[in-house]
Amino acid sequence: MSECCKELKKKYEKLKYDICYLNDAFFKLNQKINRIPEGPTGDTGPTGDTGPTGDTGPTGDIYSTIYNGLIDLSSLNIGDIVTYTITSGLSYTVGQEVIFGYDSNNLFVSLVNSYNTITGLLEINIQSITGSGTYSPWEVNITGAPGKQGPIGDTGPTGDTGPIGDTGPTGDTGPTGDTGPIGDTGPTGDTGPEGPSFLGERLEITSDTTLSDGNYLVAITENTSGITLTLPPSNNINQYYIIDEVGNASSQNIIINPNGSETISGNISQVINVNYGTVGLYSTSSNYFLLFTLP
């Protein structure tokens, strides 16, 4: 079928539709004039053929586009005037609010100073900045006026506590604070038990010696090759404090032997082998016993 015939068919179909519409309108008008009551609605007639598709309407305003260049949010400041080349043929006009958004946390809002529909050059004035860093690509679109804030929703349930993370490294020790004031002196403690008394005379020993009965402070004042002290028989009165005053007993030991088969606290001898060591002894009727050893 030729284009001319197709066009005539379209016009014929439209004319049939117009005639049906006019007949219905005249009928309703005639009923009103003659006050003829309207009869019951008749059965619906068969659906007529679909009319021809109408002409496409004009294209609406378009604002949405993508800007693929890199933008560093940290380099922008409110009030800056900047230009970006975006898609041409959009509908931006002076004063409109436009948003460049990488995501909901990184975006900036500006006012349009000018837009060239042929080249796509967009000049804007920065109004607000959210986020930081350099990103690409950017979604570009016109912004709507902010709506009224809706009601705050209910707080959701608290989630389970996550596992405890590893302990971080110990930080550097901070500077020592000032010394606080000295506190009050506490109460004096109870007096301890009285130690053994010693009232004997001092004996200075420089070589191997057999000690006499009595109470003596036995001071080793010279010791070049070790000293051996022999105790007298036990008799319930002997008491000796034997001291390394030279301070070399670790290398030149001081050996203390009881008399015969007697012992010192069950041992056949007692040795001072610590520099400046001290031993305290006392006797019973049959043996010797240690009072103390120092250190």
The neighbour count for residue 176, using CB atoms within 10 Å, is 6
248, pLDDT greater than 70? yes
Listed range (68-72, 157-161, 202-206) with the worst mean pLDDT: 157-161
Rounded distance, CA 171 to CA 220, Å?
55
195, pLDDT greater than 50? no
190, pLDDT greater than 70? yes
The neighbour count for residue 245, using CB atoms within 10 Å, is 15
Mean per-residue pLDDT for 272-289?
A: 96
Is the separation of the CB atoms in 291 and 282 below 8 Å? yes
At 149, is the pLDDT very low, low, confident or very high (cuts 50, 70, 90)? low
Listed range (15-19, 99-103, 165-169, 287-291) with the worst mean pLDDT: 15-19
Is the separation of the CB atoms in 108 and 76 below 8 Å? yes
Mean per-residue pLDDT for 218-236?
A: 95
Higher pLDDT pick, 6 / 189: 189
